[in-house]
């Protein structure tokens, strides 16, 4: 038989649950806003400072379209070309394996083809054709650097991707590190920034176990 106190106990329990849910939602919102600010405010390393020459440039991969660099990927590659022509580095590592978009060549091969068509000697372009994530892009690029006796690197990517890329590069041991980023005129930037909040959160969790 239900006593007079049981409805009161249930009401208090429900209030506690709702309070915990509200606190959890507020904490999640605060976390997402914090990561979002980190993502959108990143403007490269050394930021406004003048870049110094490095041993190599590392271009982080992205999807190919019909076995050719997509418009977004071309933006990264064009930035790498600009830095290469300015003498920021003499060699370029292009990264990325076979993606799921129907490509018959790897992202790295498509990136190499784009660069060599623009006049970069094939001997100056080294490829990581196995990586499937930003972490693997940089981990495998670091292996290529070590095999060539290189230490310093420019990491080249889009602005929304730069902060996470920089953190991963530090984690895999690339030092000295510079990160050069480009804004996009062809991508849906708000979508990619929002997606990056989730990717960054996933990376921070992964990093705890590395």
Tokens of 40: 């959108």
> What's the confidence (pLDDT) of residue 3?
57
What's the pLDDT band for 49 if we cut at 50, 70, 90?
low
Q: Is the pLDDT of residue 11 over 70?
A: no
| Share of residues in the chain with pLDDT > 70 (%) | 93
CA distance linking residue 71 with residue 75, whole number of Å? 7
Q: What are phi and psi of 182, to 5 degrees?
A: -125, 140
Mean pLDDT, rounded, of the chain = 93
Beta strand pairing call for 64-65 and 68-69:
antiparallel
Tokens of 182: 């480009």
Q: Crossing angle for the helix pair 71-85 and 107-117, nearest 10 degrees? A: 50
> What's the confidence (pLDDT) of residue 22?
86
Q: Which residue, among 54, 180, 65, has the nearest Cα to 114 in the 3D structure?
A: 65
Sign, CA torsion 60/78/155/182? negative
Q: Is the pLDDT of residue 163 over 80?
A: yes
CA distance linking residue 81 with residue 21, whole number of Å? 50
Q: What is the pTM of this model?
A: 0.91
Structural contact between residues 137 and 61, judged by C-beta atoms closer than 8 angstroms:
yes
pLDDT tens digit sequence for 68-98 = 999 999 999 999 999 999 999 999 999 999 9
The H or E element that residue 65 is part of is: strand 64-65
> What's the confidence (pLDDT) of residue 151?
96
Residue in the structure block whose two tokens are 């790498």: 80
Q: Is 105 left (phi over 0), alpha (psi -120 to 50) or beta?
A: beta
């Amino acid at each position: 038989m239900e006593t007079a106190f049981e409805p009161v106990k249930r009401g208090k329990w429900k209030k506690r649950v709702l309070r915990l849910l509200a606190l959890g939602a507020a904490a999640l919102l605060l976390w997402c806003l914090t990561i979002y600010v980190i993502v959108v405010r990143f403007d490269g390393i050394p930021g406004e400072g003048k870049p110094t020459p490095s041993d190599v440039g590392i271009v982080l991969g992205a999807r190919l379209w019909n076995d050719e660099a997509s418009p977004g990927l071309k933006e990264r590659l064009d930035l790498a070309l600009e830095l290469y022509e300015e003498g920021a580095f003499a060699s370029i590592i292009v990264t990325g394996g076979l993606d799921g978009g129907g490509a018959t060549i790897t992202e790295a091969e498509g990136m190499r083809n784009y660069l060599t068509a623009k006049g970069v000697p094939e001997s100056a372009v080294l490829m990581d054709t196995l990586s499937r994530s930003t972490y693997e892009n940089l981990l495998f690029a670091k292996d290529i650097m070590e095999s060539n006796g290189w230490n310093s690197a420019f990491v080249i990517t889009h602005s929304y991707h730069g902060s996470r890329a920089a953190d991963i590069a530090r984690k895999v041991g690339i030092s000295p590190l510079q990160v050069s980023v480009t804004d996009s005129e062809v991508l849906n930037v708000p979508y990619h920034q929002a997606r990056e909040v989730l990717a960054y959160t996933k990376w921070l969790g992964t990093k705890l176990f590395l």
